[in-house]
Amino acid sequence: MVKQEEWDAIVVGSGMGGLVCAAYLAVSGRRVLVLEQHDVAGGNSHVFRRRRAYEFDVGVHYLGDCGPDGVLPAIFSGLGLDGRVTYREMDRGGFDRIALPGLTVDVPVGWEAYTGRLTRALPGEAEGLARFTGICAAVAGETRSMLLSGSELSVADLMARTPVSAQWGRRTLGELFDHCGLSPRARTVLAAQSPNYGMGPRQATVATHAAVTDHYLRGAYYPEGGGQVLAAALVEALEAHGGQLRTKSRVERILVEDGRATGVGMKDGDVHRAPLVVSNADYSRTVLDLVGEEHFGRRVVSRTRRAEMALPLATLYIALDTELPERPNANLWWYRDADIEGYYEQLAQERINPVPFLFVSFASLKDPDARAVCPPGHSNFQVMTLCPPSYDYWGVREGPAAGERYRRNQGYQERKAELTEAMLGAAEEALGPFRRHIVHLETATPITHERYTLATGGTPYGLARWGGPGSRPDTRTTIEGLHVVGTNTRYGTGITGSAVGGMACAAQILDRGLLAEVHRGARFGDPDLLPVRDADWDPLAVSRGAGRRGARGLARIG
């Protein structure tokens, strides 16, 4: 028997953008239903557990701008969540270590300190480096100022208030490198963290690079308790204000009648009705599959069909029965050579063995007091590299989003094993030998990522190109009552970019400048409604939603 329910708003997917939007709608009095096809909410912020001893973050490796003036803390505070998420700061003198052959650069907090560190590392390029960081700092400053202003400006006023962004924002990073006359070595140091957004210098815009760099130069942090605490806190705010989260609930169709959204149809045949639907699902799947291209204009459909995705990652989740040699609380960006543009050309040609690049995130250094990360005396870290997205490369045909059962596919297993071995070899080059201490090793590929998030191309970074350079869709669509959020929108990638996009979507629906208001201290959520957390509080259990909180199958540590 088909069930029908009525809601004020339905959110499809529970990544950071969807949960932020849902929570702000709920604290504003809307009856909100969040539907998540996975077992837990959180999208790229979720965690998983192994051997009752280790917890691994899928996508939260570090967060920027979480100090007193930070954007992400303001978003949580506006929901009444002050103190429910706390952040441990990484090494201010070098939260990212960039390692090239013969050169190591530790990235410090602040544009001035960063420029000084670069100049000391590459003294012959001081003038070009200063020009580069000056333009990027100006673009980032203009972008953040406009984001927090809460004002609607005419095109003329916007251009007047963002002159450097108008000149450089939509040009490529490669063009800025050329303008500054920088060598391949300098370009590699400056773009070493470009895997944070999954695009090379010839594809990424200056605005993208400047925003991501500025984000971390405002301070790099890690949420105490791991990435799942972010989703759990948002679920608490949602449920405390009358909303619902339902996990293991896959939406089959977003319903559109007479040009407006009217609800969703579920895979099990149930129907939920609402005059407002927010899709936190992958943008291309939203347009082409969940809604259907017949409901959109030709331009939107054409852009979506021709869209390019950012590159995906392969990740090794590693646990050791010993501690790593002493090192700073910093991520490692390791490159086999000093030619960043050549590296992205290799990727385009599907040549990544031997592995040319690694990003290493040390969870047991970032959150040493967290009981779930690993037992005392052990280590927990992740090793990542960008990799080709094509199904052919991975030995699959249609991918898991289309229902393909790929995990026992021999071609897939061979490619996965080959890359695992290549990444381990490169990791030991970067860190020293550790294999004999491995007690848990697991590899996730872009196909794995697609399986859990249904993301096109298996990337956590969303669209690289949708129309012109730097162009991405806004949260409001051409269908009345239908909005989109997540890492594909123009508000950027990552946890904070997705959260800001969720805020922007809620602001459009509620017709008020939410981000500017909460950044100035406004509170919309009532903290007195939030549940008391006891000593056994488990963010993973909370993130299943109230209806499944006690369901079987939840792995616990210890």
| pLDDT tens readout for residues 285-297 | 999 999 999 999 9
Whether residue 154 is found in the same domain as residue 232: no
Give the list of residues 6+ apart from residue 99 with CB closer than 8 angstroms, or none.
332, 333, 334, 335, 430
25 closest CA partner among 483, 553, 375: 483
Q: Select from 218, 233, 250 the last residue of a domain.
A: 218
Asked whether the whole model's pTM tops 0.75, one would answer: yes
Distance of CA 222 to the CA centre of its chain: 14
pLDDT of 399-457, one tens digit each? Answer: 998 898 998 899 999 999 999 999 999 999 999 999 999 999 999 999 999 999 999 99
Whether residue 338 is found in the same domain as residue 448: yes
Whether residue 471 is found in the same domain as residue 513: yes
Residue 558 domain flag: no
Number of domains in the chain: 3
Whether residue 317 is found in the same domain as residue 378: yes
Q: Residue 171 corresponds to which tokens in the numbers above?
A: 């040009």
Q: What angle do the packed helices 206-217 and 494-510 form, to 10 degrees?
A: 100
pLDDT grade for 469, boundaries at 50, 70 and 90? confident
pLDDT cut 90: percent of the chain above it: 90
Average pLDDT, stretch 317-324? 96
Whether residue 339 is found in the same domain as residue 429: yes
Residue 92 domain flag: no
CA distances, 295 to each of 253, 257, 269, 290, 490 (Å): 13, 9, 22, 11, 22
Average pLDDT, stretch 173-199? 97
Residue 59 domain flag: no
Unique residue bearing structure tokens 């100006």: 138
Average pLDDT, stretch 370-395? 94
Average pLDDT, stretch 223-234? 96
Whether pLDDT at 151 is above 80: no
* 472 touches 489 (CB < 8 A): yes
DSSP 3-state helix, strand, coil percentages of the chain (rounded to 5)? 40, 20, 40
Whether residue 297 is found in the same domain as residue 346: no
Whether pLDDT at 308 is above 80: yes
Whether pLDDT at 157 is above 80: no
Residue 105 domain flag: no
Residue 53 domain flag: no
Domain of 18, CATH number, reads: 3.50.50.60
pLDDT cut 70: percent of the chain above it: 98
Strand order in the sheet with 103-107: 103-107, 96-100, 331-335, 357-361, 379-386, 313-320, 438-444
Whether pLDDT at 2 is above 80: no
Q: Select from 218, 235, 268 the last residue of a domain.
A: 218
Cα first-last separation, the chain: 42
Which residues constitute the domain of residue 362? 308-456
Average pLDDT, stretch 499-509? 97
pLDDT of residue 3: 73
Bigger pLDDT: 101 vs 151:
101
Residue 334 domain flag: yes
Whether residue 364 is found in the same domain as residue 409: yes
Whether residue 496 is found in the same domain as residue 450: no
How far apart are the C-alpha atoms of 349 and 498, rounded to whole Å?
A: 30
* 283 touches 488 (CB < 8 A): yes
* 277 touches 483 (CB < 8 A): yes
pLDDT of 72-126, one tens digit each? Answer: 999 999 999 999 999 999 999 999 999 999 999 999 999 999 999 999 999 999 9
Whether residue 172 is found in the same domain as residue 318: no
Whether residue 437 is found in the same domain as residue 315: yes
Whether residue 255 is found in the same domain as residue 385: no
Q: What is the mean pLDDT of the chain?
A: 94
Residue 475 domain flag: yes
pLDDT of 241-250, one tens digit each? Answer: 999 999 999 9
Q: What angle do the packed helices 16-27 and 494-510 form, to 10 degrees?
A: 30
Residue 262 domain flag: yes
Whether residue 117 is found in the same domain as residue 193: yes
Q: Residue 404 corresponds to which tokens in the numbers above?
A: 């393909």
Q: Select from 218, 253, 276 the last residue of a domain.
A: 218
